[in-house]
Amino acid sequence: MRSLYMALDGRYHLPHAIGGVRRRRSSLLTLQFAFYKPHQTKFLTMTQDNQRVLIIGGGIGGLCLAEGLKRQGIPFTVFERDPSVTFRSQGFRLRIDNDGYNALEACLSTQALNVFTKTTAEFVPGFRFVDAKTAEPSAPRAQGRPQGGPEVRGPPRGDGAKVFSADRLVLRSVLLLGLTEDELRYNMAFKSYTTLENGLVEAEFENGERVTGGLLVGAEGTYSRVRRQYLPNATQLLDTDGRAIYGKTPLTPELEAALHPSLLRGTSLITNLDPHVSLFMETMRFTQGNPHDVNSELPDTNDYVYWVLISRSHNFRIGGYTNDEELLALKPPQAAALAREVTKDWDSHIQALFRDDLVGNGCSYIRVSTMSPDIKDWDASNVTLMGDAIHAMTPAGVGANAALMDAHVLLNSIQTHGVSVQAVAAYEAEMRVYARDFVAKTAGAGHKMYGQPGFQDMKPLN
């Protein structure tokens, strides 16, 4: 027998014929059912509903917020559309800077934070610029500004003592360590939400289930359904005309022998000017040991080279490919083959990174998109957004840190104002300021890496 607790004050109503019980009103009623249909509205007690935070999306930002709420004793549930944390590739390496670390420090338990620091890869300060044709050092190109765009001086830098090279899956797994099955629910694809007469918000999912809470947080990424319903005109998602092949190549003895010695430690930006193609790469050496050995719930992760090959879209239309649709549908081996084709005239000590027998399935072709930095103001409510859902930006080592900052700022606001519209208003006022700045500044990195155009020359995406 399962129990369903409902707080009814004359404004709450039972769904149609749940467990064969008719609708009825009561000031406070607890009902027990012999049969429970899961695809119906779930209510908790009124106090729990008022305080519960519904987090849509189990990415880095949403999970960090969840950990912070749990640490403060604030009820929450994370709803993730995927069936598991490893269901699909979501990138590999993340650079966690001072702001990102401060957010993790504020939200995680001391034990979880220690696990994070022990499972990061070796961080080598500095940035190496390399010529693609010779593999020799080259002078960094001036960033300047995209035509018609804001002046850009590059992404913000954090305290060197608090900069970490993290594996995305490992970090996400660390953020999952403290969460129970009731706090993180998989296979929950968000459909829409409704603001109820009593002021609560009800989230509906593709499986028909409905859940109520005091605050709904859209943290489900660039194509956020929460944003599309709540703030369709607050900002515009844009196609930068950048395309990228990203991947990871196991750092085997064979690869170490084949790569140019200067590429074996730290971070490098390898540039070819005609056509303008850039390769960003970082060697991920887990010098503190395999993360799985630190905590058995973390993935088995060996040393590898993380890389991103990025350029304008037309430079990838080679080898028989003529349009975006077929390129965006490439399987990992096809994407790896395209990377080899694009770099066929490069120095052999760089080409070794894309060898078919090494790359395997760790490779994807993606569109590079960004929001406009013109993020408009809006009136706060009990629905809000964080991370790429509201400020997707050009990849430049800033996006994940911005999402972690969102979690930190929102948590602080909830601690100060409770789960309330006032907390959301304070969070959004602060978030919009740094989000606009980050989106504008990361455009400069895109301009440098592959000639990203100004925002006014980008095409809108639906």
Nearest to 104 by CA among 60, 147, 70: 60
Regions of the chain where pLDDT drops below 70:
1-49, 89-91, 141-160, 360
Q: pTM (2 decimals)?
A: 0.86
Under 8 Å between Cβ of 218 and 376: no
Length of the chain measured in residues: 462
CA distance 96 to 121: 11
CB burial of residue 344 (10 Å; 0-12, 13-18, 19+): exposed
Which pLDDT score is estimated for 6? 28
Residue 212 one-letter amino acid: T
Question: What percentage of the chain has pLDDT greater than the value 70?
Answer: 84
pLDDT of residue 92: 86
Rounded Cα distance between 379 and 312, Å, is 37
Q: Which of 192, 166, 231 shows the shortest CA–CA distance to 54?
A: 192
Structure confidence at residue 13 (pLDDT): 31
Q: Give the per-residue pLDDT at 153.
A: 39
Q: How many CB atoms lie within 10 A of CB 37?
A: 13
For residue 77, give both structure tokens: 């549930």
As given in the structure block, the two tokens for residue 204 are 């509906």
Residue 233, pLDDT score:
92
pLDDT digits (tens, 9 = 90+) for 426-458: 999 999 999 999 999 999 999 999 999 999 999
The predicted pLDDT at position 89 comes to: 66
SS3 33: strand
**Mind giving me the DSSP string for 133-158?**
TT--B-PPPP----TTS-----S---
**Rounded CA separation 283/121 (Å):** 9
User: In order of start, what are the domains of the chain with their CATH numbers?
Assistant: 1-35 (no CATH), 84-190+237-462 (3.50.50.60)
Return d(Cα 260, Cα 238) in angstroms, integer.
37
As beta bridge partners, residue 239 has 369, 459
Closest CA to 288 of 95, 111, 94, 119: 119
